Structures are given as C-alpha cells and as structure tokens.
Amino acid sequence: MNAVAPTLWQRNPVLAWREIDGEAVIISPGESVMHELNGTGSFVWELLDGRHTPAQIAALLSAEYEVSSETALRDTESLLQELASLRLILQAGVNAGLAGVPADR
C-alpha cells in the first residue's frame, strides 16, 4: 500500500502580517479583514513555510508548550483547517493565483 504524502501548507503570499508581542496579526488585502492568532497559533503560523508537515509542526508545538503530542496534533490540524478555510494558508506548490508575487521568505 502506498503511503499518502502529508499535505504541506504555506502562508498565502498575498497576506500582510507581522508578529507583534508574540501574536501574529494578519490582513488579507482583498477583504481588508484583520485576523489575530494567539501565542500557540502564532508559533504554528511561523512554521507554515511549505516545508513542515502537520506532524512536524505538532511535534515542535508539543515540545515548546509541553502539551501531549496527541493534543498538539489535534490542535494543529484544527488550526490548519480553519486557516485554510479562510485562505490564509494554501497547499504548498498550488498556484495562489498571484503571478508575480515574490517568493515568501
């Protein structure tokens, strides 16, 4: 049986965002809507670079915040689902529809 490759997520490159006092403030230009992530959400946000799998992010979250790996994975997947539904993150390698946008750092 072939293992399914985990989805890799990256921040939507069109977003404006800044981590302020440990909390990420995110603005989507089309809707002019502001979103704010708490400390753990911001920790995950920083890792959404298209290279970390959800499991890897959860492992780092578990180590950083001393929560069980099950809790960390559940919370990470829940957050990713929410961020994806808001189009704040995109599947890595999938065209964001923004030709010419410089690569995310």
Residues that bind another protein (CB under 8 A): 13-18, 20-21, 25, 27, 29-30, 32, 34, 36, 98-105
d(C-alpha 77, C-alpha 55), whole Å:
9
Rank residues 36 and 70 by Cβ distance to another protein and give the closer one.
36
Q: Tell me the C-alpha to C-alpha distance, in Å, between residue 50 and each of 10, 11, 31, 62.
A: 4, 8, 24, 20
From the CB of 74, what's the least distance to another protein, in Å? 26
From the CB of 61, what's the least distance to another protein, in Å? 22
